[in-house]
Structure 1
Amino acid sequence: MIRVLIVDDQEMIRAGLRTIVSSSPEIEVAADVGDAFAALDYLENNPVDVVLMDIRMPGIDGVEATTRIRRTHTSEQVKVIILTTFEHDENVYAALSAGANGFLGKGVGPVELIAGITDVMTGGGALSAAAAAAAISRVAEAPLQRVDESLARRFEALTPRERDVVIAVTRGISNDEIAAEMFVSPFTVKTHANRAMAKVGARDRAQLVAFAYQAGIVADR
């Protein structure tokens, strides 16, 4: 059973998230709290697998809260998924740089939310299409001074199909869209992406995108 902590300053949103999350037989809501300080206090004495963290809250925001969680809990111990209505570049990058495992807009549907939670627990990364596009645009805007040769060597271990999936991921499209283009199942796309992340040492899709650009494997920069 996956134990989830919901952190949001709006009671109505917490109630909605609790209803959605609890609908999955594989997930239970351990608690829901209204601010990051309460979340940090809860984590001191209670086991949690995933934290659904609002990014904009009074006191300290979700990015700072994630930074503090990472001081005491590794990514293997506690996964953090940032939830927000603001899928902007700086928010995506700040959250992922702080150690978040995923970034989902509050507009995602129940299926995508549940999938995001289960994905991070199996080593994937929950990244909504808008968040992926934001992260990619941030990386693409940064001038590539030189190819990172050590990263490039990691990408040499990818199969041709895994490489194709990585390049597709850098375009910010979903697994379903990649699957339709490649005439395979979304599960196959996810498998290739996860294997690619493992081979190059990326913790999530956003970092996989960054590594791909740094390794110089994306031609249309």
Structure 2
Amino acid sequence: MTTRVLVADDQFLVRAGIVGLLEAADGTEVVGQAADGPEAVLQAARCRPDVILMDIRMPGMNGIEATRRILAAAPDPAPRILILTTFDLDDYVYRALRAGASGFMLKDTGPERLLTAVAAVAGGDTLFAPSVTRRLVEAFTSTAPATQPVGGHPELDQLTARETEVLRLTGRGLSNPQIAQRLVISEATVKTHLNRAMTKLNLASRAQAVVLAYETGLVVPGG
């Protein structure tokens, strides 16, 4: 099965290099390119890609706003968006995850890693390990108090005790197998609880679940 990819980056050489790599690889097809945010939104609607590689800092509209608009307008199945960034602890990355991005990658990522990332998110996975997600979120939430104390977020009241616990452990950076071992349940049960929690909280990705766990105080930065 071929993965259809849209590449959005305002730097021509960077964009051309990524496009060349993807076109030379088996299983991927570049269906569009964009040099700024507005063009990325238009191309996403026209080309219906499976995966979008989205730069953050672009003229006209940044990648965060483009991500938000693309996902808001996209019919199911929505594209999976990977954020391209120069710095692994860029504040824009955190905001992009809140906007619904599936993960992030550094622009100096090697070719093999890039291709693996595209294949992974096309299959429904996140690009980065939960521990990386945790480190990213901690870097920004540790500088400010959580927006709501534990129990002060009305959306969490929708969750069962088990769903809340699975969300908390997800926020701490544990993978599904690790959560299953911790709670002495099957991986399938973990996935079911997490999916139900995400549906109730209107979350589009595991990354958003991690962010919400921090923002609601389920997980304390550095704890």
Q: TM-score, normalised by structure 2?
A: 0.71
Contact kept? 2:45, 2:70, Cα under 8 Å: no
**Shift of the alpha carbon at 1:216?**
2.7
* Aligned with 2:139 (options 115, 137, 140): 137
Contact kept? 1:49, 1:78, Cα under 8 Å: yes
**Shift of the alpha carbon at 1:210?**
2.7
Contact kept? 1:82, 1:103, Cα under 8 Å: yes
SS at 1:52 equivalent:
strand
Distance 1:74 1:33, change over 3 A: same
Q: Distance in 2 between matches of 1:140 and 1:209?
A: 14
Q: Deviations over 1:160-184 (max 9, x none)?
A: 9x789736527xxxx7xx99x99x9
Q: Distance in 2 between matches of 1:19 and 1:194?
A: 36
Q: Distance in 1 between matches of 2:74 and 2:96?
A: 16
**Partner in structure 1 of residue 125 of structure 2:** 124
* Aligned with 2:195 (options 159, 180, 198): 198
**Shift of the alpha carbon at 1:85?**
0.5
**Alignment pair present for 1:157 and 2:159:** no
**Partner in structure 2 of residue 146 of structure 1:** 149
Contact kept? 1:136, 1:206, Cα under 8 Å: no
* Aligned with 1:216 (options 201, 215, 218): 218
Contact kept? 1:79, 1:100, Cα under 8 Å: yes
Distance 1:135 1:107, change over 3 A: farther
Which is worse superposed, 66-75 or 92-101? 66-75
Alignment-mate amino acid for residue 147 of structure 1 = V
**Alignment pair present for 1:83 and 2:80:** no
Distance 1:109 1:62, change over 3 A: same
Q: Structure 2, unaligned stretches of length 5 or more?
A: 182-186
Q: Distance in 1 between matches of 2:113 and 2:85?
A: 14
SS at 1:157 equivalent:
helix
**Partner in structure 2 of residue 103 of structure 1:** 104
Alignment-mate amino acid for residue 200 of structure 1 = A
Distance 1:111 1:204, change over 3 A: farther
Distance 1:16 1:166, change over 3 A: same
**Shift of the alpha carbon at 1:193?**
8.2
**Partner in structure 2 of residue 60 of structure 1:** 61
What count of residue pairs does the alignment treat as equivalent? 207
**Shift of the alpha carbon at 1:23?**
4.2
Contact kept? 1:102, 1:127, Cα under 8 Å: yes
Alignment-mate amino acid for residue 145 of structure 2 = P
**Partner in structure 1 of residue 170 of structure 2:** 166
Distance 1:216 1:61, change over 3 A: closer
Q: Distance in 2 between matches of 1:107 and 1:35?
A: 20
Distance 1:7 1:154, change over 3 A: same
**Partner in structure 2 of residue 187 of structure 1:** none
How well do the aligned residues superpose, as a CA RMSD in angstroms? 3.7
Q: TM-score, normalised by structure 1?
A: 0.71
Q: Distance in 1 between matches of 2:210 and 2:21?
A: 30
Alignment-mate amino acid for residue 157 of structure 1 = R
Q: Distance in 2 between matches of 1:121 and 1:22?
A: 16
Q: Structure 1, unaligned stretches of length 5 or more?
A: 185-189
Contact kept? 2:86, 2:106, Cα under 8 Å: yes
Contact kept? 1:139, 1:210, Cα under 8 Å: no
SS at 2:31 equivalent:
strand
Q: Distance in 1 between matches of 2:47 and 2:75?
A: 15
Contact kept? 2:45, 2:74, Cα under 8 Å: no
Contact kept? 2:71, 2:78, Cα under 8 Å: no
**Shift of the alpha carbon at 1:219?**
9.1
